[in-house]
């Protein structure tokens, strides 16, 4: 059977472009030869109809509200596995056996410490620096510690860099939190599992023993699973583009953290909680719904809408259940923010504007309420998102480096600036 092609006519010239089919989901029209054969580029700001790469890691069906990591539904992974199992799956492509899991946990645990000189690095920040600013800088600084041993053409060194990144993010995230509250850094403890270790580094103090609440540790571990990867979102695309030049992987992850920080992306969990606090009571919701609909008002309902999900974000449903589980465990019966969130969701899901534009709550809508209840300040919400998304960034970076067809990412443009013109000496300018 001949390969499928799509024929387009460009200024009267017919051009055949190959169609490539995936395992599931939309096929693609391979336009690599379009410019050579037509002298034209495609134009797709925001890449709403553009596949930037071939990937085998994560699949999203936005209409059906489906999210698969290496083919496994997010609901099953969140229910039955733990975050490091998800990390193994995203990195290696298969669920680990018991011995592979034990070995992976052991290897991650023994990379959790950071170079002692990093402690001095933190002292350079104002004590009220936003923890995301600290994370961008400190993760980028890691490239100064490993640059001479990160030969990204060596598969073993790529895996070591991946393990280091996954292992050290909780330590750096906890350090960013401790620095912001003026408490001493707590070192990782190898007898704790990944998420309990992170909670210990955040909330323990040298003056007394600390044991994390196992229900909260399990809930946070599940939250990390939900945030681990999400195909070619803005921050992952940033990591891929940075990595396509051969840059140090730690520097590429720092670029991903910078992109995630934006309120349209990972910064939405912090912005969503601030929005709920600003709304304050269910009675004030209608005026904010009106602002969201007003074309002249830049206000958006933070935590609503998604580029891909035009149905309920499957992660938001699990997040909502986790929110109730955490609030119940903490004995928080009537959280006013939750009342506002539940009423806002109810109204929005019955409002014609949101129905027509298919705006549903996304993962960031409930995460803020949960993380605040756990004791994290709002400024740490996106840091936790970055902690969890690191494995997705790294897995996608590895896949890009190992893709034989990969080349440096270099988009073109539609130029609408000044035509060619000659220099005018300053004495002759009006
Ligand atoms: C994440 O890509 C990913 O996978 C991201 C993420 C991941 O795991 O990596 O899922 C994580 O970033 C989730 C999204 C978090 N962001 C927010 O919650 C911020 C609020 N949401 C919006 O900024 C917006 O919905 C985006 C950015 C998420 C998606 O924007 P798009 O796809 O570019 O859609 P759009 O801005 O073109 O909006 C389509 C229409 C517009 O109206 P029209 O111009 O067609 O008249 O819907 C409206 C928008 O005005 N709209 C909203 C809205 N989101 C979109 N109106 C009110 N409130 C909103 N939240």
Ligand 1 centroid, distance to 306 Cα (angstroms) = 5
Residue of the nearest CA to atom 54 in ligand 1? Answer: 305
CA dist 252 → 17, 125, 141, 162, 263 (Å): 33, 22, 11, 12, 20
List of long-range contacts for 396-399, beta carbons under 8 Å, 24+ apart: 396/55, 396/57, 396/229, 396/232, 396/236, 396/239, 396/240, 397/239, 397/240, 397/243, 397/249, 397/252, 397/253, 398/91, 398/158, 398/159, 398/162, 399/55, 399/56, 399/57
292 close to ligand 1 (CB < 6 Angstrom): yes
Instruction: Assess whether the C-beta atom of 256 lies below 6 angstroms from ligand 1.
Output: no
Percentage, residues of the chain above pLDDT 70: 99
Helix (H), strand (E), coil (C) string for the chain = CCCCEEEEEECCEEEEEEEECCCCCCCEECCCCHHHHHCCCCCCHHHCCCCCCCCCCEEEECCCCEEEECCEEHHHHHHHCCHHHHHHHHHHCCCCCHHHHHHHHHHHHCCCCCCCHHHHHHCCCCCCCCHHHHHHHHHHHHHHHHHHHCCCCCHHHHHHHHHHHHHHHHHHHHHHHHHHHCCCCCCCCCCCCHHHHHHHHHHCECCECCCCCHHHHHHHHHHHHHHCCCCCCHHHHHHHHHHCCCCCHHHHHHHHHHHHCCCCCCCHHHHHHHHHHHHCCHHHHHHHHHHHHCCCCCCCCCCECCCCCCCCCHHHHHHHHHHHHHHHHCCCCCCHHHHHHHHHHHHHCCCHHHHHCCCCECHHHHHHHHHHHHCCCHHHHHHHHHHHHHHHHHHHHHHHHHCCCCCCCCCCCCCCCCCCCCCCCHHHCC
Question: Which residues are the active-site residues?
Answer: 306, 364
Distance of CA 116 from the midpoint of ligand 1 (Å): 41
Minimal-distance CA residue to ligand 1 atom 41 = 357
Residue 70: what pLDDT?
A: 98
Cβ of 265 closer than 6 Å to ligand 1, yes or no, is yes
- Of 80, 64, 76, which is closest to residue 25 (Cα–Cα)? 64
Residue 348, pLDDT score: 85
Which residue's CA is the closest to the ligand 1 atom numbered 37? 307
Cβ 305 under 6 angstroms from ligand 1: yes
Confidence of residue 64 (pLDDT cuts 50, 70, 90): very high
Q: What residue's CA is closest to ligand 1, atom 42?
A: 357
Nearest to 345 by CA among 312, 368, 297: 312
Q: How far is CA 231 from the centre of its chain?
A: 10
pLDDT computed for residue 312 by the predictor: 87
Give the pLDDT confidence of 80-109 residue by residue, as tens digits: 999 999 999 999 999 999 999 999 999 999
Band of pLDDT at residue 3, cut at 50, 70 and 90: confident
Q: Is the CB of 315 under 6 A from ligand 1?
A: no
Q: Give the confidence band of 2 by pLDDT, cuts at 50, 70, 90.
A: low
Q: What is the mean pLDDT of residues 226-249?
A: 97
Q: Which residues of 297-322 are buried (b: 16+ CB within 10 A; e: fewer)?
A: eeebbbbbbbebbbebbbbbbbbbeb
The Å distance, Cα 305 to ligand 1 centre, comes to 4
Reference 309, options 362, 253, 383; nearest CA is 362
Are the C-beta atoms of 194 and 108 separated by less than 8 Å?
yes
Mean pLDDT of the region 234-248: 97
Contact 378, 274 (CB under 8 A): yes
Q: Is the CB of 303 under 6 A from ligand 1?
A: yes
Average pLDDT, integer, range 245-270: 96
pLDDT at position 14, please?
94
In the β-sheet with 66-69, what is the strand arrangement from edge to edge? 58-61, 66-69, 72-73
Task: Examine the pLDDT at 239 and tell me if it is beyond 90.
Answer: yes
How much is the pLDDT for 148? 65
Closest C-alpha to ligand 1, atom 31: 307
Q: Is the pLDDT of residue 149 over 80?
A: no
Is the minimum distance from the CB of 301 to ligand 1 under 6 angstroms? Answer: yes
Closest CA to 166 of 206, 141, 200, 195: 195
User: Each residue of 7-31: pLDDT tens digit?
Assistant: 999 988 999 999 999 999 999 999 9
How much is the average pLDDT of 282-304? 93
Q: How far is the CA of 288 from the centre of ligand 1 (A)?
A: 16
pLDDT at 150: 79
Q: What is the pLDDT of residue 335?
A: 85
Tell me what percent of the residues of the chain surpass a pLDDT of 90.
Answer: 91
* Mean pLDDT along residues 112-124: 94
Is the pLDDT at 244 greater than 70? The verdict is yes
**Torsion of the alpha carbons at 324, 325, 326 and 332, rounded to the nearest 10:** 60
| Residues 391 and 229: beta-carbon distance below 8 Å | yes
- Does residue 233 contact residue 388 with C-beta atoms inside 8 Å? no
Tens-place pLDDT, residues 314-347: 999 999 999 999 999 999 988 899 899 999 999 8
What pTM, to 2 d.p., does this model score? 0.95
What is the per-residue pLDDT for 333?
84
- Checking if the pLDDT of 1 tops 60, the result is no
pLDDT digits (tens, 9 = 90+) for 153-175: 999 999 999 999 999 999 999 99
Separation of CA 361 and ligand 1 centre (Å): 10
With a cut of 70, say whether residue 253 has pLDDT above it.
yes
Average pLDDT, integer, range 109-113: 97
In this predicted structure, what is the pLDDT of residue 371? 96
Which residue's alpha carbon is nearest to atom 16 within ligand 1?
A: 264
Nearest CA to ligand 1 atom 48: 357
Can you say whether residue 70 is alpha, beta or left, with left for phi > 0 and alpha for psi between -120 and 50 degrees?
A: left
Say yes or no: CB of residue 67 within 6 Å of ligand 1: no
Atom of ligand 1 nearest to the CA of 365: 18
358 lines ligand 1 (CB under 6 A): no
Indicate which atom in ligand 1 lies nearest the CA of residue 234: 2
């Amino acid at each position: 059977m001949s390969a499928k092609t799509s024929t387009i006519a460009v200024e009267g010239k017919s051009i055949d472009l190959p169609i490539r089919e995936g395992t599931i989901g939309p096929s693609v029209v391979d336009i690599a030869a379009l410019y050579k054969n037509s002298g034209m580029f495609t134009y797709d700001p925001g890449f709403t109809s553009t596949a930037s790469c071939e990937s085998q890691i994560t699949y999203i069906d936005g209409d059906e509200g489906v999210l698969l990591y290496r083919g496994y539904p997010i609901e099953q992974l969140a229910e039955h596995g733990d975050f490091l199992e998800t990390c193994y799956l995203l990195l290696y492509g298969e669920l680990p056996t018991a011995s592979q899991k034990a070995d992976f946990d052991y290897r991650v645990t023994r990379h959790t410490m950071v170079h002692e000189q990093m402690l001095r690095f933190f002292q350079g920040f104002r004590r009220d620096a936003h923890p995301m600013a600290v994370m961008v800088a400190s993760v980028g600084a890691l490239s100064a510690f490993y640059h001479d041993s990160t030969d990204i053409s060596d598969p073993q060194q790529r895996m070591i860099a991946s393990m280091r990144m996954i292992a050290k993010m909780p330590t750096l995230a906890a350090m960013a939190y401790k620095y912001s509250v003026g408490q001493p850094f707590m070192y990782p403890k190898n007898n704790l599992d990944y998420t309990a270790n992170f909670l210990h580094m955040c909330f323990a103090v040298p003056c007394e023993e600390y044991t994390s609440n196992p229900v909260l540790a399990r809930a946070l571990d599940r939250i990390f699973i939900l945030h681990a990867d999400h195909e070619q979102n803005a921050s992952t695309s940033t990591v891929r583009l940075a990595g396509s030049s051969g840059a140090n992987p730690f520097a590429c992850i720092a670029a991903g953290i910078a992109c995630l920080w934006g309120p349209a992306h990972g910064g939405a969990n912090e912005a969503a909680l601030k929005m709920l606090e600003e709304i304050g009571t269910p009675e004030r919701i209608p005026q904010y719904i009106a602002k969201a609909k007003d074309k002249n008002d830049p206000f958006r309902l933070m935590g609503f809408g998604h580029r891909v999900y035009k149905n309920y974000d499957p992660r938001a449903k699990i997040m909502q259940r986790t929110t109730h589980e955490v609030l119940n465990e903490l004995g928080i019966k009537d959280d006013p923010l939750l009342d506002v969130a539940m009423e806002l969701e109810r109204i929005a899901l019955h409002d014609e504007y949101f129905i027509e534009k298919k705006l549903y709550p996304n993962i960031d809508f409930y995460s803020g309420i949960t993380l605040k209840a756990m004791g994290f300040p709002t400024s740490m919400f996106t840091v936790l998102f970055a902690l969890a998304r690191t494995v997705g960034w790294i897995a996608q970076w590895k896949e890009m480096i190992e893709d034989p067809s990969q080349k440096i990412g270099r988009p073109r443009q539609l130029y609408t600036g000044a035509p060619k013109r000659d220099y005018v000496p300053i004495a002759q300018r009006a």
